[in-house]
Amino acid sequence: MVQMLSCLRAFLLGFVIVLGFSGVMVGTGSGVFLYQLHDYSLLTPTGVDGPPASLLGLSALSCVLAWFIWQFDYSSKSQVISLATLITIIGVIETCVGIWALVRHQQIYALPEKVLQKAVLALSDSKSEDLWHRIHIKLNCCGINGASEDFRQQHKHVPWSCCYEPQEIENNKKNCERGCHHLVIHRTQSILLYTFLLALSSIILKACTISLAWCYAKAITEGMLHRRKMLRIASQASAIAMTKIANQPMSDEEHGINLSPSV
C-alpha cells in the first residue's frame, strides 16, 4: 500500500509539472493567434478573438494553479480532492471555450455588410495603412476584392504592398486581382480551429490529471481504512490476551506460599 501511494504521488507530481508547462504552451499559442487576428482585424467579424483570449487567461490560471498545487504535501485526502475540483472547474471552462471556438468556426462564411463597409472606408484611411500592408504582404493579396475593383476603378493608387513578391508579369497581375476578403475568412477559420484543438489537448491532459488525483484520493482512503482495520485487530488481540492473562489461575509463588519442606 505504501509503495502504491508513493508511485501514485510521483505520477501526480509529474502530471502537475506537465500541467504547468502545458499552460505555458497553450498561453503562447493563444497569444500568437490573438496577434494574427489583430493583424487581420480589418476583415474579421467582431468577437472572433474571444476564444483565444479566454484560452490565454485560462492558461495563465493553469500555471498559477500548478504552482499552487506544487506546494501541497499530498498527505490528506482533502488536499487531493481540492486539487481535482480546481482542475475540473478549469477543464469545464476550457471545454466551453473550445465549443465556442468551434461554433464560431462554423458560423464564419462571409463578412457582415457592416464589416465590409468599414473595411471599404479603411482603404482610404491613413491610420489603417499599416494594417493593410501587413495583410497584403502576408497573404499576397490586394484590397478587399482585388486591385481593379478596389483601386483602379476608383482611380486610386494601388498600394506598394499589393503583389509584393511578383515572379512574372502575368502572375503579378493575377495576384493583384486576388482580394483579401476570402483569404482572411479562411485564415480566421483556421485560427479558430487551431484554438479548438489547443483547448482539446489541454482538456485531455487535465482529464488525465483529474483521474490520477481521484485514484490517489481513493488510495489514501483505502490506506486509512486498512490502518484502522489493523489497529482494531491489534486492539482486539490485545484485549483477548489481557483477558486470558486475567483468567489464568495464579501459581503458588504468585500467592506468596512457600511450598518448600520444613526442617
Give the SS3 label for residue 164.
coil
Please indicate, yes or no, whether residues 91 and 176 belong to a single structural domain of this protein.
no
Is residue 252 situated within a structural domain?
no
Angle at 41 between CA 130 and CA 199, to 5 degrees: 130
Please indicate, yes or no, whether residues 45 and 146 belong to a single structural domain of this protein.
no
Please indicate, yes or no, whether residues 88 and 98 belong to a single structural domain of this protein.
yes
Please indicate, yes or no, whether residues 8 and 95 belong to a single structural domain of this protein.
yes
Is residue 193 situated within a structural domain?
no
**Cβ 120 vs Cβ 43: under 8 Å:** no
pTM of the model: 0.72
Q: Which of 180, 174, 132, 183 is nearest to 157 (CA)?
A: 132
Is residue 124 situated within a structural domain?
yes
Domain span at residue 103? 2-111+202-223
Please indicate, yes or no, whether residues 88 and 143 belong to a single structural domain of this protein.
no
Is residue 247 situated within a structural domain?
no
260 contacts: CB under 8 Å, gap ≥ 6: none
Is residue 86 situated within a structural domain?
yes
**Cβ 119 vs Cβ 185: under 8 Å:** no
Is residue 164 situated within a structural domain?
yes
**CA pair distance 179, 119, nearest whole angstrom:** 12
**CA pair distance 113, 121, nearest whole angstrom:** 12
> Per residue in 107-143, pLDDT tens?
887 777 777 777 777 777 777 778 888 888 888 888 8
Instruction: Report how many domains make up the chain.
Output: 2
Please indicate, yes or no, whether residues 49 and 167 belong to a single structural domain of this protein.
no
> Per residue in 55-91, pLDDT tens?
999 999 888 888 877 776 666 667 777 777 888 898 8
> Per residue in 13-48, pLDDT tens?
666 777 788 888 889 999 999 998 888 888 888 788
**Residue 98: predicted pLDDT:** 92
Joined together, the cell numbers standing for residue 53 give 483570449
Please indicate, yes or no, whether residues 127 and 214 belong to a single structural domain of this protein.
no
Is residue 169 situated within a structural domain?
yes
Q: Where are the extended beta strands (E) located within the chain?
A: none
Please indicate, yes or no, whether residues 208 and 164 belong to a single structural domain of this protein.
no
Please indicate, yes or no, whether residues 35 and 144 belong to a single structural domain of this protein.
no
Sequence-ordered alpha helix ranges (H) in 142-180? 147, 169-176
